[in-house]
Amino acid sequence: MRYAILSDIHANLQAWKAVLLDIRSRKADRIICLGDIVGYGPNPLEVLKSVHAEADHIALGNHDAVVCGKMDADLFNPAARSAIEWTTSRLGPKAVTFLGTLPLTLAGPHFRCAHGEFSDPAAFNYVLDPDDADASWNAVPDRVLFVGHSHVPAIFVTGASGRTHHVTPQDFVVEDDKRFLVNVGSVGQPRGDGVLATYCIYDDADRTLLWRSVPFDLDAHREAFAAAGLDPGAALFLNMDPRRGHAPIREQLDFSPPSDPGRRARNVVEVSELRSLRRRASLWRAAACATALAACAVAVAAAISLRMARLDRMEIAPPTTPIHAAASVPEMNLLPKLGASLPAANWGIGLASRKSQRAEQAEADGFPALKLYSARRLPMVIRSAPVTAAPGMPLRMECYVRHKDGFDGELALAAVITGGSIQPRRLVASPALRRKDGWLKAQRSFELPAGAEQVEIQIFGDFSGETLVRDVILALRSTQ
């Protein structure tokens, strides 16, 4: 099972959407959120709804706990308290009730998750150094532990010597004679030296952990802060890019774990087993409908996940005309224009439902465009014919996207690199660069790795509604 494990979204819709798209591209089987869905950021309701719909398991964070009345607000610094008051005013009673049902810890097969450390999870103590990690080793027996809370990605390792060592974030394989405590960092409130959303992919079958660092739209997040009337100073990364002159991490922390046992989180679920955890289907429905809606939501989520997993295996009319990059002129588009209908000689299409989805030629602002439509939220992929290329070739891909009113979901551009001696690689570019007239630009430059033989360009997503795509480009990048 491949688990995407993340924490501390803090109502940052732009970061959450970017990470969710990255998770889908990595084909994770389950999403685990370690808490602090809300707090600080300007979109608590939108993020909470999306996380509830997308995450399979969620632990309680300290910001979630204070919003639902299970902790005292005076444990937080003034900036955090102000954000908590604003957040509480934006959430309805059903959202607050849902947050109150979240457990402190999650127990998986041979791993365990919490927002803070494990010796006293209701106190939400931080894990910042090896001494902090030691308390968790003594509290639970699991070989791999996952936490968040400090927003700083880190690994703590202990082995036969019994000493705990701090290791910088890196991919690793779990060794039989060692234990690992992993702080997955933060999706929505990065601290330390970067402004990227971080999370991890943990595969419990081959016992590997992979780090993911995802860029998101900082300008859009800053604009959302302003539109909500919030002080962007509550998110230091917005004003420090590149980040210079940071205070030490302990000075940035917003919360003081209580020493008095009576002030820990109250009336909380201690632990939930991942194998048996079931959640109500919707926060926003009447209580009388909760049981029926839960079954429906679980079925729909499973069906969508299966469709997304099958998308690459769907019977897609294959492009037949080869494209050769070897003799191309720098900055010349290697891809033919999308035709009036699909499939075409150089383009193929994969639909989850031929009745509910379609792709057709259109015109937008004087540009020829492809109009994609889905009556309900379903996956779709448009694929170019493979472009033959050579290792080391510098390439650039880009396209423009404009969503119509009512669009719901995600759409992205991808380059799939293949070769006889390498595993297929997918490079994803989210349409996050804002342009005039509502267009969003997706763009990414890359160099083909050793062993690469072909590149396929894809426009893929999972959405409902209508969107326009134009100027899909793959070009040999000029190096002068």
Lowest mean pLDDT among 120-134, 137-151, 280-294, 379-393: 280-294
Task: Please name each of the domains of the chain with its CATH number.
Answer: 2-279 (3.60.21.10), 314-476 (2.60.120.260)
β-strands 144-147, 111-114 pairing: parallel
- pLDDT score of 72: 93
- pLDDT score of 321: 55
Is residue 346 helix, strand or coil? Answer: coil
* Cβ–Cβ under 8 Å, residues 421 and 12: no
C-alpha span between 173 and 164 (Å, rounded): 17
pLDDT tier at 313, thresholds 50, 70, 90: very low
C-alpha span between 388 and 138 (Å, rounded): 55
**Mean pLDDT score, 193-201:** 88
The mean pLDDT of the chain is: 82
**Which of the pair, 127 or 425, is modelled with greater confidence?**
127
pLDDT in tens, 420-463: 888 778 888 888 788 877 899 998 888 888 888 899 999 988 89
DSSP letter at 188? S
**Mean pLDDT score, 255-273:** 76
- pLDDT score of 125: 95
Closest CA to 183 of 200, 171, 197, 196: 200
Question: Phi and psi (nearest 5°) for 251?
Answer: -80, -20
- pLDDT score of 304: 36
Using the predicted structure, report yes or no on whether residue 406 has a pLDDT greater than 50: yes
C-alpha span between 389 and 192 (Å, rounded): 39
- pLDDT score of 127: 94
Using the predicted structure, report yes or no on whether residue 63 has a pLDDT greater than 60: yes
Using the predicted structure, report yes or no on whether residue 282 has a pLDDT greater than 60: no
**Which of the pair, 119 or 324, is modelled with greater confidence?**
119
Using the predicted structure, report yes or no on whether residue 229 has a pLDDT greater than 70: yes
- pLDDT score of 142: 92
Using the predicted structure, report yes or no on whether residue 318 has a pLDDT greater than 90: no
- pLDDT score of 286: 35
pLDDT tier at 52, thresholds 50, 70, 90: very high
**Mean pLDDT score, 94-106:** 94
**Which of the pair, 257 or 139, is modelled with greater confidence?**
139
pLDDT in tens, 1-25: 899 999 999 999 999 999 999 999 9
For residue 332, give both structure tokens: 């010349």
- pLDDT score of 279: 41
Using the predicted structure, report yes or no on whether residue 248 has a pLDDT greater than 70: no
Using the predicted structure, report yes or no on whether residue 95 has a pLDDT greater than 60: yes
- pLDDT score of 295: 38
pLDDT exceeding 90 applies to what percent of the chain? Answer: 44
pLDDT in tens, 32-41: 999 999 988 9
For residue 366, give both structure tokens: 């004087």
